[in-house]
Amino acid sequence: MILGRYVIAKLPRTGLGNRLFVLYRALSYAYLNNSQLLITNIYSISIGPFIRKEQRKRIYLFSFNFSPFMCIKGKTKMILAKNKIYDPNFADKKIDKSSLIIFHSHIYKGIDHSDLFKDIRPFRSQIISHFYSHLSKNENKIIANLYKPVIGVHLRRGDFKFVNWELTSIEYIIKTINNIRMVGNKNFSVTIFTDAHKEEVKELLLLENIALSPSYSDLSDLVHLSKSKIIIASKNSTFSYWAGFFSEAAIILDNESKKIRYCEDTKDKRIFEGSIPNNPKLWPKNLIQYIKELS
């Protein structure tokens, strides 16, 4: 099926993870229908993080190298288009070919929550290529000098403290780190990626061989986390999920996120992705072996 010539990603004024879902659902849909991708709202800024005095302000002006002319072209197409379809279902075969397709809804609308990457997973390699090819020179410079963490922990706070979202507990993170170290019989280094203030994670920082990430930017943090050998993801965080999507790491999810899948089929299957029992003796054998072989 070949639709109209253009698919537009109208980026929402949200955090990086939700923006990436809009962007890469649009890109995947464009690939699926032999259409050209345009991106708008590239330079939009949300005032919420400033009002809530969050540590991270969600400013991505200098993170990507998207052309401002593409943004203008996309906005012009949206103004002139007579027929617009927003956030279409990927399986819908009855869309008018002359319609302008616009993706703009964030993660909580129009997506199967039991499998967040369902529609875009077949395009994983194209998405990863697109992502890295559109990073700004400054981000590339930062990323080139980042070390690869052994254990990368994402701890989401920020606006989660102000809305009805259950937070990943410090106790859960500490227990998971200690269990991994026990299985490997090594005091693995741990890097913490968080939007929390330092005093909010002081208990976690009491552990040995643990440090906060340098945190040059949200985007470099996401890439840095994805370079970890093991990722301990934060509950309900699309930032964590995207780091996993870009990564080849073993990914440990909380029990409520156990249905998230990143890879398309068994040939691309990573060492492990999913939730784990509290008792390390019950962990999958391949995960245990992987941890024991980590240096």
Residues 6+ apart with CB under 8 A from 82: none
Helix, strand or coil, per DSSP, at residue 64? strand
The pair of three-digit structure tokens given for residue 201, joined into one six-digit string = 């994670």
Residue type, 53: K
Mean pLDDT, residues 263-280 taken together: 74
Strands (E), 96-194: 100-103, 151-155, 190-194
Instruction: With cut-offs at 50, 70 and 90, classify the pLDDT of residue 2.
Output: very low
pLDDT at residue 50 in the model: 45
Give me the residue spans of the domains in the chain: 6-134, 144-292
Both structure tokens of 239? 């930032």
Nearest in space to 249 (alpha carbons), one of 191, 172, 194, 178:
191
Q: State what percent of residues in the chain have pLDDT above 70.
A: 82
Residue 125 and residue 132 in contact, taking contact as beta carbons nearer than 8 Å: no
The three-point CA angle 39-40-42 to 5° equals 95
pLDDT at 259 over 70: no
Structure tokens at 55: 């540590």
Q: What is the mean pLDDT of the chain?
A: 85
Q: What is the pLDDT of residue 267?
A: 44
Give residue 156's pLDDT.
83
In this predicted structure, the answer to whether residue 281 has a pLDDT above a threshold of 60 is yes
The DSSP 8-state label assigned to residue 110 in this structure reads S
pLDDT at 5 over 90: no
Q: What is the C-alpha separation between 293 and 295, in angstroms, rounded?
A: 6
Q: For the residues of 227-244, what is the DSSP string, one character each? A: T-SEEEPPTT-HHHHHHH
Name the percent of the chain lying above pLDDT 90.
58
Q: Which residues contact 280 (CB under 8 A, 6 or more apart)?
A: 179, 182, 183, 288
- Which class for 253: exposed (0-12), middle (13-18), buried (19 or more C-beta within 10 A)? buried
Confidence of residue 157 (pLDDT cuts 50, 70, 90): confident
Mean pLDDT on 111-117: 71
Nearest alpha carbon to residue 8 among 133, 104, 116, 81: 104
- The CA–CA distances, whole Å, from 283 to 29, 78, 150, 189, 269 equal 37, 51, 19, 21, 17
58 vs 227: CA distance, rounded Å: 22
- Local confidence band at 92 (pLDDT 50, 70, 90 cut-offs): confident
> Which residues in 75-100 are b (16+ Cβ under 10 Å) and which e?
eebbeebeeebebbeeeeeebeeeeb
Residue with more model confidence, 42 or 294: 294
Helix, strand, or coil here: 38?
strand
Residue 108, token pair as written in the block = 């909580």
Instruction: Tell me what pLDDT residue 264 has.
Output: 53
Position 62 scores a pLDDT of 75
pLDDT digits (tens, 9 = 90+) for 171-186: 999 999 999 999 999 9
Neighbours of 198 (CB within 10 A): 10
Task: Given CATH 1.10.8, say whether it is the number of domain 144-292.
Answer: no
Q: Using alpha carbons, select from 21, 50, 49 the residue that is nearest to residue 240.
A: 21
Angle at 197 between CA 191 and CA 62, to 5 degrees: 75
Going by their DSSP bridges, the two strands 190-194 and 151-155 should be labelled as: parallel
